[in-house]
Amino acid sequence: MFLVCGTRSHIQEVVRNVKGLISGAVRPPPELVRKFFRGEVASLVDIASEMAEGHGKSEFELLGWVDGIDWRRHFAETVSLRLPYWGSVLAMGSGKRDLLGWLEEKGKFYEAHGLGADDIDTRAVRALNGVPSLLLEEDTRAMRTLAAGVGGYYESFRVGPTALRPSDNVLTVFGRFKPMRTGLAFELRRIFFHIYDGDTLVIGAITGLPVEIDAIHPLKLPLQALEVVHVGPFGETPPKRWNPSRVAVKLNSPEVMRLTTYRGANDQSVQRFYEGSGGRRLLAFRVSGGSLHLRLDATAFEHFLSRSDRSVPLA
């Protein structure tokens, strides 16, 4: 797996070259034959990239992990900086300057608030879960983080011993604790979910929010409120195999739940929680009669409420 950015048609040229070299339908130019080894991923991508560049299609950047080695193409286009808290960071694409500035600001904030002593595992959790959640939160609250217009949905990847591994099967929830006449409720503001189906990224988002839910009264929404988007690799049009009912079933068993909670009239207090496989789940989902039913788990709700800042009054 490679992370790619640049002009789509140029990236697609590289992909076509890779496929052609594998199948034998495309032969490398004579000057590149000595570097060509069909069974080696790095050789294939290198040759395919040079062929695209030779045709004037060089507007792309590639970052991957091949045979245990960090592999990059057009590294001159990629910015490498050492940032507070995060350490060494590579950024590529049209939004790289915005993103690096944003990461630097967050890194300084974390260190100023005593997080500079975090171990590598804690920093990894914050990078894999906190960064995409924060970016998604800001973009959905009309605070667009990446001014170049490249914001949208955000994913994270872990570098494994042989490949890049996406954070998969992730439920992301934003909401506010608030008082009600009959007790406490949770104002659901945004709910997102994503899962990979092969090379296709499937994203579900619940619309029609905000709404309030409590531990006694489940919430019922039209099933159409769960919108589903399919994103294929390199701009390809993927088969649409997921509908709202199928996505709704998966909402109950995410590998990771990212939860952001607010407290106070102006969201003065913000807490972020990351629950892995087997961890707490704030919501349960069910499809019945053409509707999406949401239930608040009382035990999980009390747990997250108890960890919010009690010095900030509910409002």
The pLDDT tens digits for 97-136 are: 889 999 999 999 999 999 999 999 999 999 999 999 999 8
Q: How confident is the model at residue 147 (pLDDT cuts 50, 70, 90)?
A: low
In this prediction, residues 289-314 reach a mean pLDDT of 95
CA–CA distances in Å: residue 248 to residues 173, 182, 258: 14, 29, 17
Domain residue ranges of the chain, discontinuous segments joined by +: 2-77, 79-159, 168-306
Q: Which amino acid is at 304?
A: F
Rounded Cα gap, residues 274 and 143, in angstroms = 23
Share of the chain above pLDDT 70, in %: 96
HSE on the CB side for 69, CA within 13 Å? 7
Confidence check: pLDDT of 149 > 60: no
Sign of CA dihedral 238, 244, 246, 248: positive
Confidence check: pLDDT of 268 > 90: yes
Q: What pLDDT score does 87 carry?
A: 94
Mean pLDDT is lowest, of 90-94, 263-267, 272-276, for 90-94
Q: How confident is the model at residue 165 (pLDDT cuts 50, 70, 90)?
A: confident
In this prediction, residues 145-154 reach a mean pLDDT of 67
Q: How confident is the model at residue 148 (pLDDT cuts 50, 70, 90)?
A: low
Q: What pLDDT score does 74 carry?
A: 84
Confidence check: pLDDT of 141 > 80: no
Per-residue pLDDT of 242-252, as tens digits, reads 999 999 999 99
Per-residue pLDDT of 28-67, as tens digits, reads 999 999 999 988 888 999 999 999 999 999 999 998 888 7
Q: What pLDDT score does 142 carry?
A: 61
Per the model's pLDDT, the better-predicted residue between 140 and 22 turns out to be 22
Q: What pLDDT score does 279 carry?
A: 94
pTM: predicted TM-score of the whole model, two decimal places:
0.89
Rounded Cα gap, residues 193 and 256, in angstroms = 10
Sign of CA dihedral 42, 47, 48, 53: positive
In the predicted model, what is the mean pLDDT of the chain?
91
In this prediction, residues 12-25 reach a mean pLDDT of 93
Per-residue pLDDT of 63-100, as tens digits, reads 888 877 888 888 778 888 999 999 999 888 888 888 99
Mean pLDDT is lowest, of 226-230, 232-236, 261-265, 275-279, for 232-236
Residue with tokens 């960090």: 70
Share of the chain above pLDDT 90, in %: 71
Q: How confident is the model at residue 145 (pLDDT cuts 50, 70, 90)?
A: low
Among 128, 2, 1, 154, CA closest to 63: 2
Q: Which amino acid is at 147?
A: A
Rounded Cα gap, residues 38 and 115, in angstroms = 47
Strand stretches in 147-297, DSSP E: 157-159, 164-166, 170-180, 183-197, 200-206, 211-213, 219-222, 226-231, 256-263, 269-275, 283-288, 291-296
Among 98, 175, 168, CA closest to 140: 175
